[in-house]
Structure formats: C-alpha cells, structure tokens
C-alpha cells in the first residue's frame, strides 16, 4: 500500500512512523509512505500557504493553489483510490473504515490547518473526509497518523501474529476481553482460574462473555449496531 500525506508540517509526522510496527511495515515493503510539504508547491515568493478568508472573519484559510498543484502532480504519476481530508466535520473514524481502507492500493491524505482548506479543494478533489473524534486538533497531522496506524496494522503480514488484529476490540462490534500473563499470582492477585485450565472451548466462552459484559458496561451503543 502506498500512502501520500500532504501537510504543511512534515516534521510532525516523522515520529509516528519511525518506530515499531509502522517502521517494520515499511521495511517489509507493506507500506510505502511519502510525506509532502505543501509549502514546496507555493507559487509565492514568501512561500505562503494560507491567506485571509473572503467575506472577512477571524482565521486563515489554506490556499487552493499549492494543494492543487501537488495533488495534480501526484495524480499524474499514479491513480489514487481515495483522497482523504482530515477534518473535525468528517465521518467519525470507525474500525469498519479502517478495514476498508486497508484493502486499498494508493491513498492520499490531506492535513488541514487554521480554518481549513479552500472549500474548492474539498469539492473537486476530496473523495472522503475523516474525523478522529468530536474535538478539534490544531491540525490534521495527528489524525492522519491515527488513520495510517489503524489501517496499516491490518495489512496481512504487518502484524507478527496474523490473528491478533481479528481479535481486537471493535472488530466484531465487541470490546476485547481482559488479558493476563505470568505470574499466575502477584501480590495475592490471581489470574482467573479458567485461563489456567487448558480447556480451550471453555476459555473461548469465558472470553466471549467477558467481551459482552465489558461492551454492555462501557460501550452499550456498540450492541445496538
Ligand atoms: N483536524 C482538526 N481536528 C480534527 C479531528 N478531530 N479529526 C481529524 N482532523 C482534524
């Protein structure tokens, strides 16, 4: 999978992809990540990427021109299945969208700033708008990192244990059950007996019940789906 991220703050995206699973995904060839600085495509002498909004009002708008030049350039080089805009008024990111996106070949992610991008970018280029939650970030970069992480870990071969992504919370609209490791007793706190029984059928039933109970208590909305 190839992901192109369009941003005015490329350095913000260095950290999240240079470690652990995201790093390995790139080393193993599952992810080809390209971060583009929108400022490099500014046509003004001062390399501006924003300006006042027409009609007046507080807050700057990201200029159409540099973004358009960059998107056209990338689209001229290959085709993209999605051009995503990170914005608080987009669809709320859900596991189902992550699953769907993990099957794509090439996607672009545009990170907004200030009041957002000139709306003509949204009207003419953007195929999908995503929010990572009902709060406002200072830019779309952290949201883009969340999208990339949640999508890339689902690509077959990225996780060592192929089955573990399938048993994540949300994958079947249930939260994951509690997990335990050694020692079986610590400070007098015991691991549930059933997990030590070796009876895989009973363990599976217990995990399902725990998942259901957690979901009822913490996210009853998931059970309505
Ligand atoms: N940009 C600013 N806030 C955001 C949010 N909640 N989700 C995605 N992008 C954003």
Return the pLDDT at 28. Answer: 96
143 lines ligand 1 (CB under 6 A): yes
Whether the pLDDT of residue 180 is over 80: the answer is yes
Q: Are 143 and 132 in contact (CB under 8 A)?
A: yes
25 Cα: distance to centroid of ligand 1 (angstroms)? 25
Distance CA 82, CA 130 (A): 11
C-beta 116 within 6 A of ligand 1: no
Please classify residue 182 by burial: count the beta carbons closer than 10 Å to its beta carbon, then call 0-12 exposed, 13-18 middle and 19+ buried: exposed
pLDDT score for 199 = 98
Phi, psi of 16 (to 5 degrees): -60, -25
Query: Would strands 2-7 and 106-111 be described as parallel, antiparallel, or unpaired?
Result: parallel
Mean predicted lDDT score pLDDT of the chain? 96
Least confident of 30-34, 91-95, 154-158: 154-158
pLDDT at residue 133 above 70? yes
pLDDT of 162 > 70? The answer is: no
CA of 133 to the centre of ligand 1 (A): 7
* Residue-level length of the chain: 225
The pLDDT value recorded for residue 163 is: 63
d(CA 165, CA 25): 15
Residue that has been written with the tokens 């990192």 in this structure:
145
With the most atoms of ligand 1 within 8 angstroms of its CB, the residue from 140, 141, 144, 149 to mutate is 140
CA distance 173 to 94: 10
- Digit-coded pLDDT (tens) for 33-61: 999 999 999 999 999 999 999 999 999 99
Q: Among 10, 156, 151, which Cα is nearest to 93's?
A: 151
d(CA 174, CA 219): 9
Domains of the chain and any CATH numbers: 2-152 (3.40.1280.10), 167-224 (1.10.1270.20)
């Amino acid at each position: 999978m190839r992901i192109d991220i369009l941003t005015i703050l490329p350095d913000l995206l260095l950290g999240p992809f240079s470690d652990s699973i995201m790093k390995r995904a790139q080393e193993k060839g599952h992810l080809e990540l390209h971060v583009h600085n929108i400022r490099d495509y500014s046509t003004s002498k001062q390399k501006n990427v924003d300006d006042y909004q027409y009609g007046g009002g507080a807050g700057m708008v990201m200029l159409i021109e540099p973004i358009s030049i960059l998107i056209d350039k990338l689209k001229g080089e290959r085709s993209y299945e999605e051009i995503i805009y990170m914005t608080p008024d987009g669809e709320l990111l859900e596991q189902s969208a992550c699953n769907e996106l993990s099957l794509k070949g090439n996607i672009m992610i545009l990170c907004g700033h200030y009041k957002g991008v000139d709306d003509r970018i949204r009207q003419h280029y953007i195929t999908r708008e995503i929010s990572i939650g009902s709060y406002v970030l200072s830019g779309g970069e952290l949201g883009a990192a969340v999208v990339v992480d949640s999508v890339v870990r689902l690509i077959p071969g990225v996780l060592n244990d192929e089955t573990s992504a399938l048993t994540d919370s949300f994958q079947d609209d249930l939260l994951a059950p509690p997990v335990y490791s050694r020692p079986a007793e610590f400070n007098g706190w015991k691991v549930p007996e059933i997990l030590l029984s070796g009876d895989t059928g009973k363990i599976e039933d217990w995990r399902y019940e725990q998942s259901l109970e957690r979901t009822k208590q913490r996210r009853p909305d998931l059970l309505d789906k």
